[in-house]
Amino acid sequence: RKNLNLALEYYMRAALNGEKQSVYEVGRMYYHGIGVEKNRKLAKVWYEHAKKLGID
């Protein structure tokens, strides 16, 4: 679980620094509840942002 929390932290940092794939990965973690509580609404926000960046 600790490694998953760390993964989310790194993905978030990368996403906020413009790493496009990381935006999608944060959404995926929230959608599936990987290292975090499932949150489909928050996942949708991240997925929509990824789509705007050209990541499907």
Task: Give the residue from 7, 5, 13, 20 showing the smallest Cα distance to 54.
Answer: 20
Res 46: pLDDT: 96
Cα→Cα distances 38→17, 20, 27, 41, 52, Å: 24, 22, 10, 9, 23
* 8: Cα separation from own chain's centroid: 7
Cβ(46)–Cβ(20) below 8 Å: no
Per residue in 17-55, pLDDT tens? Answer: 989 999 999 999 999 999 999 999 999 999 999 999 999
CA 36/CA 31 separation, integer angstroms = 9
Res 5: pLDDT: 87
| Tokens 């705007």 found at | 52
